[in-house]
Amino acid sequence: MVRPAAAAEGAELLFCGSYKWDTQGRDRKVAEEFGEEVLAPHRLTGSITLGGLSTASDRNLVRRVISGPVAAHAVLVLADGRALAIGRNTCGELGIGTPRRFAPVFMPVVFSKGGRCVGAACGRTHTLFLMENGDVYASGANDAGQLGIGSRGTGSSGSTVPAAVTPIRLTHLVEIMGVRAIQVACGEQFSLVLADDGSLYAFGTHRDGVLGLGTTGEVIGKQRMEVESEPLPRRIIRFIRADGTLIALDESKSMAEQHEDIPRFMQVVCGQRHVVALDSQNRVWSWGFGGYGRLGHRTPNDELRPRSIEFFERLRGDRRRCIQLFAGASCCYALTEMGAVYFWGITKMTGEATVSPQMLYDLHGWKIRDIAVGISSTMVACDECATIAWGPSPAYGEMGFGETIVGRTFGGKTGVLKSSTQPRLVETLKGVQVSQLAMGAFFTFLLILPEDVQASEGQGAAVRALPTLSWDKHAGAGSQRTSGLMILDSNSLSSRRGRKPGKLKSRGTSAAMTTGARPDSEPSVGASGKKRRI
């Protein structure tokens, strides 16, 4: 089985989870409380909610919805090249040209030089946008150089954090390095760009070796360990085979002239602090923070360079080979040509970790269309109008189970099912064909086939029965300006390029636990029963 393309030929948009954009995952008081938890998938309606997509023909322009496992925002990509964004905008990550705290409805992304957007990637507080001509734009926080524009802030407590509220073109990458991008990916404070020749470029924080450049960036500061960052894109040129031997790319040659063992990457995805990538030989490479086995190398060790996962080396000779990768905050999934799904890492912080890829037998026999992973929740879209989800507590409705009453009681009271430790059919989507998923830190967007298409296939009644949700009346919420932002634009950027970039301060290092995770390494992943911090 070959996995269908995730992009839908026209689609309707569903939402479930929390849209408390400004407060979810934060211990802070705000002047304006906004949002609630939506436990079942709802059809989004309203011209203002959908950024002006008021008619059925408008909605047919929808091609992709994108978020990230630690992101509190999402991007909608349209067939006509426009991009719309929604969610938290603390550092300008939406790219909508204004420092408002959050956008309660989809708003147009502002590209200074025009162009057609075909893709995006969402980090915690930054976003990369991929254009049809191979250009890359970036917006949001740049305290660790994660925008790749050659400038960064100190990131020290109490100081302003440079941010771009309007996407800035990565001129160094495109014009000086001559890169034509075909994919972008974002982690918590770092970014990667995949070029059309199969090479990878990384920028942002060096912490845990997430850039794959052979260093953690740790240096001795005046009072504590500090972590350096990479404010301009750098090509990843050294790789480690599964047997531990090092191979290096010859920069004097084109990718076509490189040794056959040099990976030509086809896909790259990022977790919170780790990266996995698939090459043209169906090898899977991983690097970055290795806690809880999320790199799949059977150890909790960090990897500072891309290292081939030995398990997938054995699957390359037949239809068991890997064809698609997905990353959560602290885990990974791989889909094989035969349709098998493998998992490694951890989702429940109080549970045991899976340190090497293991087949998920609960998904055996399902034809997978798409997989989305958040901080600890997972949702799978399958053929035959089936959607499956699971994840531990805490959860906020992102699995879409609806108002299902739990069979047992808690303190004498029945509870609503928000989480499930085992894969479970999402009954609220019974009879609805989901074509693509995007899961953020506490929400899920789903693309479904248009109602008229599903009606022609005998599924229209199920779509019409879905509840609807409109945020039109909340369009003015979140408009207060975010304080403490130093806005970057093309003019201020040129004046800052002559400065020596500052260093990103670390919280310090500590001894690794027996699981291989450092106590301060997972601020976004809460233990069961605790709040997630993002």
Query: Is residue 527 a part of any domain in this protein?
Result: no
With a CB cutoff of 8 Å and minimum separation 6, the contacts of 308 are: 239, 240, 241, 242, 283, 284, 285
Q: How far apart are CA 428 and CA 500, in angstroms?
A: 54
pLDDT of residue 31 exceeding 90, the answer is no
CB contact at 8 A, 205 and 146: yes
Q: Which has more confidence, 503 or 259?
A: 259
Residue 439 to residues 71, 295, 358, Cα–Cα distance (Å): 9, 21, 22
Q: How far apart are CA 138 and CA 226, in angstroms?
A: 25
Query: Is residue 421 a part of any domain in this protein?
Result: yes
CB count in 10 Å sphere of residue 531: 12
Query: Is residue 496 a part of any domain in this protein?
Result: yes
Q: How far apart are CA 10 and CA 326, in angstroms?
A: 23
Query: Is residue 316 a part of any domain in this protein?
Result: yes
Query: Is residue 2 a part of any domain in this protein?
Result: no
pLDDT of residue 92 exceeding 50, the answer is yes
- Tally the domains of the chain: 1
Residue 483 — pLDDT band, cuts 50, 70, 90?
Answer: low
CATH number at residue 229: 2.130.10.30
- Poorest-confidence range of 49-58, 248-257, 367-376? 49-58
Q: Which has more confidence, 154 or 142?
A: 142
What six digits make up the tokens of 47? 């011209």
SS (H, E, C) 465-503: CCCEECCHHHCCCCCCECCCEEECCHHHHHHHCCCCCCC
174: left (phi over 0), alpha (psi -120 to 50) or beta: alpha
Q: How far apart are CA 138 and CA 94, in angstroms?
A: 10
With a CB cutoff of 8 Å and minimum separation 6, the contacts of 19 are: 34, 35, 36, 38, 104, 443, 471
What percent of the chain is predicted at pLDDT more than 70? 82
Mean pLDDT of the chain: 86
DSSP lists the bridge partners of residue 205 as: 229
pLDDT at 452: 59
Q: Which has more confidence, 225 or 70?
A: 70
pLDDT of residue 418 exceeding 70, the answer is yes
Report the candidate in 306, 277, 302, 278 with the shortest Cα–Cα distance to residue 292.
302
**Range of 326's domain?**
12-505
With a CB cutoff of 8 Å and minimum separation 6, the contacts of 500 are: none
pLDDT at 457: 66
Query: Is residue 180 a part of any domain in this protein?
Result: yes
pLDDT of residue 29 exceeding 60, the answer is yes
Q: How far apart are CA 115 and CA 110, in angstroms?
A: 10
Q: Looking at this protein, which amino acid is placed at residue 44?
A: L
Query: Is residue 529 a part of any domain in this protein?
Result: no
> pLDDT, tens digit, for every residue of 211-266?
999 999 999 988 888 899 999 999 999 999 999 999 999 999 999 899 999 999 99
Report the candidate in 274, 224, 275 with the shortest Cα–Cα distance to residue 510.
224
Round to the nearest angstrom and report the end-to-end CA distance of the chain: 37
pLDDT of residue 3 exceeding 50, the answer is no
Residue 451 — pLDDT band, cuts 50, 70, 90?
Answer: low
Query: Is residue 274 a part of any domain in this protein?
Result: yes
Q: Looking at this protein, which amino acid is placed at residue 532?
A: R
Exposed/middle/buried for residue 519 (C-beta within 10 Å: 0-12, 13-18, 19+): exposed
> pLDDT, tens digit, for every residue of 267-311?
999 999 999 999 999 999 999 999 999 999 999 999 999 999 999
Q: How far apart are CA 322 and CA 342, in angstroms?
A: 9
